[in-house]
Amino acid sequence: MPRPSSPIWHPFTQHALQGEITRIARGEGAYLHAADGRHIMDAISSWWVVTHGHCHPHIVSAIQEQASKLNQIIFAGYTHEPAEELAAQLLQLTPPALEYVFFSDSGSTSVEVALKMALGYWNNIGKKRTRIVVMQHSYHGDTVGAMSVGARGVFNAAYEPLLFDVTPIPFPATGRERDTLSALYSVCQEEMPAALIVEPLILGAGGMLMYPAWVLREMKRICEDWGVLFIADEVMTGWGRTGTLFACEQVDVTPDIACYSKGLTGGSLPLAVTLCRADIFDAHYSKDRNLTFFHSSSYTANPLACAAARANLDLWQNSDARTRVSTVASMQEHAIQPFQTDPRFANVRRTGTITALDLKTDDPGYLAGIGPKLQAFFSDRNLLLRPLGNTIYVMPPYCVTAADLDQIYAAIREAADLFA
């Protein structure tokens, strides 16, 4: 078979099936402008990172201004104003019990940091609690630690020898929520684990699986009862996606450790943070250098990325941004309603600004044969929709219009007409 014309190996791409890769020249608002002149509606926020729209002027201006001052500096033993101001802004927006901010580069690395913080905490206070509890179907990234706490399956089967053992609890499916809580209680009682890591309210790459907020609250309560650290992976769920700035806000849950990335810079530059309680920092704070938190990357707290994130947080301080989230959530609810009674779809669902529905097929799941066909179909209609197998989801930037959503859902109906 002919090889691709470009030497670039793209992520999550089977090049033998992909065909020609679409070249994008620029982005503006909710649209991507292809090099061949097409205007493509970005219905998934370019893998869930773009919040207010592509190339938002306020964020672009902040990056340009910072680029003329300082573009990079080692962050071990040095600091800079964009990082200091960003950390202060983050602590104003997040729960008061989170007092320290550790910078990294991506969602996966923020999870790696969280896991190392948790294990370092228990080690440094002299308690050898090492077990991590995870939720069935979860996905936390593609680095080794993040894969280890994610669901075992197609994403990581080839790398199984690298992964450490974890203890899973079942996903809180409708009508079986108590099974999840009972399993967590039993694990805490029998294994005295170090931490539980969860995606609050929505499991993203695991299939856009959604569960009620009260379950999140109860999981946190059980962890508190047994002294288990509660890690909230809000890499995808943060920055308004679930209807509130952070998903944990919906039941007033304060994580012991929280991971934020994706929309942190509004989708402009890679950056992540892991926030933690003071006692977790204090367990590493010592004149004994052996207790140092040994983690870094070369671009930790890159000044350009921090400037972009500061500008993004400026926008969130404005009530217009949160009002826009509510508006998009309402538009999404209106748009998804007709599919509730469409027999070709199952599990039609919405949380905040995210909708998802499963096109019925004989081979459901991430590797469903219908997946590549759907992706190609939507691409032909100038829509960036990337189904998770037979699960079609819509997660647009908040500048999306009702007309944009009409275009998206009309294409989903047309796809069902063709493939169901």
Residue 160: is its pLDDT beyond 90? Answer: yes
Instruction: Select from 262, 282, 281, 280 the least CA-distant residue to 272.
Output: 262
- The two three-digit tokens of residue 319, written as one number: 């009530």
Q: Is the pTM of this model over 0.85?
A: yes
Spatial separation of the C-alpha atoms in residues 88 and 110, rounded to whole Å: 18
Residue 113: is its pLDDT beyond 80? Answer: yes
Instruction: Select from 401, 405, 368, 403 the least CA-distant residue to 385.
Output: 405
Q: What is the pLDDT of residues 95-108, one digit of tens each?
A: 999 999 999 999 99
Residue 56: is its pLDDT beyond 90? Answer: yes
- The two three-digit tokens of residue 55, written as one number: 């190339």
- The two three-digit tokens of residue 72, written as one number: 């990079």
Predicted local confidence at residue 146, as pLDDT:
98
Percent over 70 (pLDDT), the chain: 100
Eight-state DSSP code of residue 139: -
Predicted local confidence at residue 2, as pLDDT:
79
Predicted local confidence at residue 4, as pLDDT:
85
State the first-to-last Cα distance of the chain, in angstroms, to the nearest integer. 30
Instruction: Select from 215, 205, 211 the least CA-distant residue to 236.
Output: 205
- Give the pLDDT band (50/70/90) at residue 420: confident
**Phi/psi of residue 147, nearest 5 degrees:** -65, -40
Q: What is the pLDDT of residues 30-47, one digit of tens each?
A: 999 999 999 999 999 999
Q: Is there a contact between 32 and 384 (Cβ–Cβ < 8 Å)?
A: yes
Mean pLDDT computed over 125-133: 96
- From the candidate CATH numbers 3.20.20.480, 3.40.640.10, 1.10.10.60, 3.30.160.40, the one assigned to the domain spanning 59-317: 3.40.640.10
Q: What is the pLDDT of residues 331-390, one digit of tens each?
A: 999 999 999 999 999 999 999 999 999 999 999 999 999 999 999 999 999 999 999 999
Predicted local confidence at residue 164, as pLDDT:
97
Q: Is there a contact between 167 and 134 (Cβ–Cβ < 8 Å)?
A: yes
Query: Which stretches does DSSP call E strand in 298-414?
Result: 345-351, 354-359, 383-384, 391-394
Residue 1: is its pLDDT beyond 80? Answer: no
Predicted local confidence at residue 172, as pLDDT:
98
Predicted local confidence at residue 19, as pLDDT:
84
Residue 63: is its pLDDT beyond 90? Answer: yes
- Give the pLDDT band (50/70/90) at residue 62: very high
Range(s) of the chain covered by CATH 3.90.1150.10? 15-55+319-419
Instruction: Give the side-chain half-sphere CA count within 13 A for 377.
Output: 18
Eight-state DSSP code of residue 237: T
Q: What is the pLDDT of residues 197-211, one digit of tens each?
A: 999 999 999 999 999
3-state SS assignment for residue 275: strand
Range(s) of the chain covered by CATH 3.40.640.10? 59-317
Spatial separation of the C-alpha atoms in residues 255 and 258, rounded to whole Å: 6
- The two three-digit tokens of residue 304, written as one number: 């350009």
Q: What is the pLDDT of residues 201-247, one digit of tens each?
A: 999 999 999 999 999 999 999 999 999 999 999 999 999 999 999 99
Q: What is the pLDDT of residues 265-324, one digit of tens each?
A: 999 999 999 999 999 999 999 999 999 999 999 999 999 999 999 999 999 998 899 999
Computed over every residue of the chain, the mean pLDDT equals 97
- From the candidate CATH numbers 3.20.20.70, 3.90.1150.10, 3.40.50.150, 3.40.800.20, the one assigned to the domain spanning 15-55+319-419: 3.90.1150.10
Percent over 90 (pLDDT), the chain: 96
**Phi/psi of residue 155, nearest 5 degrees:** -65, -30
Predicted local confidence at residue 20, as pLDDT:
87
Predicted local confidence at residue 222, as pLDDT:
98
User: What distances in angstroms separate CA 118 from CA 83, 282, 285, one per listed residue?
Assistant: 23, 12, 14
Mean pLDDT computed over 149-157: 94
Spatial separation of the C-alpha atoms in residues 91 and 313, rounded to whole Å: 11
